[in-house]
Amino acid sequence: MKIWLALLSFMAVGADKAPNTGKTVFLCSLGQKQVSVHALGNQLVYKFGTKAKAELTIFGSVARHNVFFRTARYANIENQLRFINGRFSYIVFSVGGNPSVGAQAVSGLTVMNGTKPVSQLTCRRWTELDSSIFNSSALPNDDEEFSAL
């Protein structure tokens, strides 16, 4: 319930203004909703909503200072992108599994209010965050306090 309250407070940020073209960086089904990130020119476009309608769209770019990446190692490599919208952060992430330690692969969306996690949703099926954009887009590294895990 908390995630919906957080999303409702910032729903009208450019909804439905970004074309559905560009390279898919992340696409995750969360049940009735989905979250996606597409690389479009020199920006990343974050969308949350149904397949038919985006409820929240954030255009992230280095120039706007509202998108960051983080790569870390837990049971396996964790990659994440954090989009800032007001006091809220929307983090899409993927972590590979590691059978030798019994860790399952997991991916999803974490919403934070400041540095406090508000909600975490897991993708119905694991999806990998395409980390190839980290090197080519000059995105700034994110702080550890904004880790999705």
User: Hey, which residues does 83 pair with through a beta bridge?
Assistant: 67, 90
Strand ranges of the sheet holding 23-29, from the earlier edge strand across to the other edge:
23-29, 34-40, 43-49, 54-60
Each residue's pLDDT tens digit in the chain (149 positions)?
Answer: 333 333 333 333 333 344 445 899 999 999 999 999 999 988 999 999 999 999 999 999 999 999 999 988 766 788 999 999 999 999 999 988 877 777 788 999 999 999 999 999 999 999 999 988 766 568 888 888 888 77
User: Hey, which residues does 94 pair with through a beta bridge?
Assistant: 79, 107
Q: With H, G, I as helix, E, B as strand and everything else as coil, classify residue 47.
A: strand
Alpha-carbon gap, residue 75 to 53, rounded angstroms: 35
DSSP 32: S
Can you read off the two tokens belonging to residue 149?
A: 């895990």
Alpha-carbon gap, residue 2 to 124, rounded angstroms: 20
Number of C-beta neighbours around residue 95 at 10 A = 25
67 in Cβ contact with 88 (< 8 Å): no
DSSP string covering 116-130 = EEEEEEE-SS-----
| Rg of the chain in Å (alpha carbons) | 14
pTM higher than the cut 0.85: no
